[in-house]
Structure 1
Amino acid sequence: MQTLTIKIQFFPDHPELLRQLSREYIHTVNVLTEQAEKEGSFPKVTTKDVDAHLPSAVLNQAIRDAKSVSKKMKKEGKRPILKKPVYFVNNQNYTIGEQMIAFPIMLDGKTRKTRFRAMVTERDKNLIQHAKLGLMRIVEKTGKWYAQVSLSIPVTKKKNEKVMGVDLGLKVPAVAVTSNGKTRFFGNGRQNKYIRRKYQQRRRKLGKLKKLSAIRKMNNKEQRIMKDINHKISRQIVNMAIKEDVSVIKLEKLTNIRQTARTSRKNEKHLHTWSFYQLSKFIEYKAKLAGISVVYVDPKYTSQHCPQCGTKNKARDRKYVCRCGYVAHRDRVGAWNIMKAPVADGVA
């Protein structure tokens, strides 16, 4: 089974009511965990024992969340205080339909399963049809409301032994090499750099004018653009893996990515905001849905070792030249060595 989360935007008629219910949910979890801390164990409570202005199904979920937080508190030795408003609904108590979602809320002191107009994409519909639905998390972000729904989707893993290595970078966002030598370059590093620079200059101007709200909107827009680019690149990579009948994709382990990524001083500011992690995760979940495993390797020296003789050399700009006569694009060398590298301990 592959687990992923879809995000559905919806449009409440009375957003303040949802804000109130979300605050009540978090307050209830905090009260119960505080009580557990005082008593030394989590209290045996039902919805009848807890004074909260929440639908009973949602209150049941709040009690389960409080138990989970209490266990974590015992393990880590401190009680986390939850502050961000949120509202969880289990899979038996919500419905997702044609451009709508419905879940229980408290209205005039009574529980009502309420329908909300929503934006359900064709992709989300297809995923929901083949998935087991999990928890739904209701959140507000910058004035917009979203239902984040957990899905478990059955997948069949491929049994062949073809491998693909993927090297992530700035000038070339991604390079993929398969074990039979097929190579493909993905994305446009110059275009990404231009987008980053353009929005950075605009933020600088707005910052001088103290227009913080406009800066936030611009940040959100830039993130949406880069997210869309990462979605397209990851889809192209996984489509190539499917076409080449790849069973395993190897990616760089992302710990200390800023130290291992190849960059210059001029590019450091772009690297700081570059979404390596997001791109990796997009590749990972798309690959797993296609039955392709994803593993992580140590990226150290992957751009320096010669794939032909193993000698360690430093590439000059984009060109890698070895004394043995091997010549290639440095990022292809990186992808090839990632494909051949042993799996790193732990996960990225």
Structure 2
Amino acid sequence: MPTLTIKIPLFEPTNVKKEMYETMRSNFSDACNQAIQLKKDDSKMKASEIDKQLGHFLLPSTLVQEARKLAVSRYQDWNKNKKTKGFPRFKKKISIPFNNQNWRLRFDNGFLKLGIPTLEEGNLTVDKYVPLKTNNYSLFWVNFLLHGEMDKKSKFFNKSYETISKPRKSNGHLFFKNGKWFFSFVISFVSQNEVLHSKAIGVDRGLKYIAVAGDSETGDYLHFDGKNIGHIRRKFSRLRRILMKNRNLKALKRLENKEQRIIQNWNHVISKQIVEFAQKCGASIIKIEDLSNIRSMKKFWKSADRNINSWAFFDLELKLTYKAQLAELVVQKVNPFKTSQECSKCGNTKKMNRRGSLYSCSCGYKKNADVNASFVISTRPSINENLTAA
């Protein structure tokens, strides 16, 4: 996968900002040196224990983790070659690394601005972004990174770039050089051919299992049982009926808010674990069914299936999409037609093959029906691919 490094100077940072960056750089260097010494003294020390030991440094938690990762990597390299290499030490003038999830770019008031975790209190808000000093070359690539489209009229455009279908941001670094502070970052490019042949996992959403993520190549899968969720939904449904009967609107509103918080928490947990499962499988694509018309099917559901209507399928989809983007994964939608009736082994599709929670095909293949459906989804072409082919 080709990559490109862009280096942009910070635009006239204040003295307060400069002092803060210098403090961060010094503390980061010290944290790296302490972490590598801890690893030398106890090579089996866990990452969480090292992070705890580094907790006294005045650094954002993300940079404490980056210091530990960098130190452990240097230690492992030294440990393999310690007969020929001296024990490594980190210099004070070290660059500060940020992984792809911890830095942001945005345009604001005519400036390109950078958002990174610093020593400033509170969350990273827009007012904490710092302006960058851009030129036409850096703007060409930044616009492509942020908007996914190249300016073909630019002098920096090359016809060979037409094969590039998606830019991805990678790690960034804040560093000081020749009296100026710079931020550099890496953009990696994915060709259309790479996208079409990338590994994918499938995610099936349903009743018995809220979600099942499956890897058809290895047969591995991850499922989330819906029994507890169903119990919670039925409980809230009963309470809602009582409050409505008593016309207690304030209590009803509080109940709805509490219910939504529970839903969103579950969706956060589920989406996070699905993304981690995809990374573990080595997949770069997560495929899900296009459930745009699921609400129109409500009249065909049994009363016991009430939970599917009340369960926030689309909230889960939104959370899965943005968490996947942060992890540099792609979410694609596929046609949901008969995914529960198709055999993931031979492709045979018969309604009678699915009997409740069991899928049994005439080819001899047997599997949990939802797991089989997730395998089928993982192998189906995305809707966008179908449109392109048409």
Give the aligned partner of residue 224 of structure 1. Answer: 261
Alignment CA distance shift 1:307-1:288 (3 Å): same
TM-score by length of 1: 0.55
1:209 is matched with which residue? 246
CA distance in 1, matches of 2:330, 2:239: 41
Q: How far did residue 231 of structure 1 move?
A: 0.4
* Aligned 8 A contact 2:208 2:226 in 1: yes
Question: 2:290, 2:330 → 1: CA distance?
Answer: 15
Is 1:304 aligned with 2:333?
A: no
Alignment-derived partner of residue 42 in structure 1: none
AA matched with 2:369: R
Asked whether 1:177 is paired with 2:150, we answer no
Structure 1 runs not aligned, ≥5 long = 1-120, 136-146
Task: Show CA shifts across 1:179-202 (max 9, x none).
Answer: 422432332201110110011111
Looking at structure 1, the residues matched to 297 and 380 of structure 2 have their Cα atoms a distance apart, in angstroms, of 15
Structure 1 Cα separation of the partners of residues 356 and 283 of structure 2: 30
2:272 aligned to which of 235, 242, 245: 235
Identity of aligned residues (%): 34
Pairwise mapping of residues 1-348 of structure 1 onto structure 2 (< 5 A)? 129-133=102-106, 154-155=169-170, 161-258=198-295, 264-314=301-351, 315-345=354-384
Q: Matched residues in 1 for 2:327 and 2:102: separation?
A: 16
**Paired residue type of 2:311:** W
Distance in structure 2 (CA, Å) of the matches to 1:259 and 1:320: 26
Distance 2:333 2:215 in 1: 16
Secondary structure in structure 1 of the residue aligned to 2:355: coil
User: What whole-Å deviation, never above 9, does each CA across 1:289-312 have from its counterpart, x for those lacking one?
Assistant: 111111100111011011222222
Runs (4+) off by over 6 Å: 147-153
> For the aligned residues, what is the CA RMSD?
3.3
In structure 1, what is the equivalent of residue 13 of structure 2? none
Cα distance per residue 1:20-39 (max 9 Å; x no partner):
xxxxxxxxxxxxxxxxxxxx
Query: Residue 167 of structure 1: CA displacement?
Result: 0.6
Shift, 1:325, TM fit: 1.1
Query: Could you tell me how far apart the structure 2 residues matched to 1:157 and 1:245 are?
Result: 18
Q: Going by fraction, where is helix more abundant, 1 or 2?
A: 2
**What CA distance in whole angstroms lies between the structure 1 residues aligned with 2:241 and 2:61?**
38
Q: Does the CA contact (< 8 Å) of 1:157 and 1:293 recur in 2?
A: no
In the superposition, the TM-score normalised over structure 2's length comes to: 0.49
Larger Rg: 2
Counterparts of 2:358 and 2:275, CA distance in 1:
26
Note if contact 1:166-1:339 (Cα within 8 Å) is conserved in structure 2.
Answer: yes
Aligned length: 214
Q: Which one-letter code corresponds to 2:259 in the other structure? A: E
Residues 344 and 373, structure 2, Cα contact 8 Å, conserved in 1: no
Q: Distance in 2 between matches of 1:213 and 1:320?
A: 47
Cα distance change of structure 1 residues 169 and 157 upon mapping to structure 2, 3 Å threshold: farther
Moved more, 294-303 or 126-135: 126-135
Separation (CA, whole Å) in 1 of partners of 2:376 and 2:323: 23
Q: Which letter maps to 1:203?
A: R
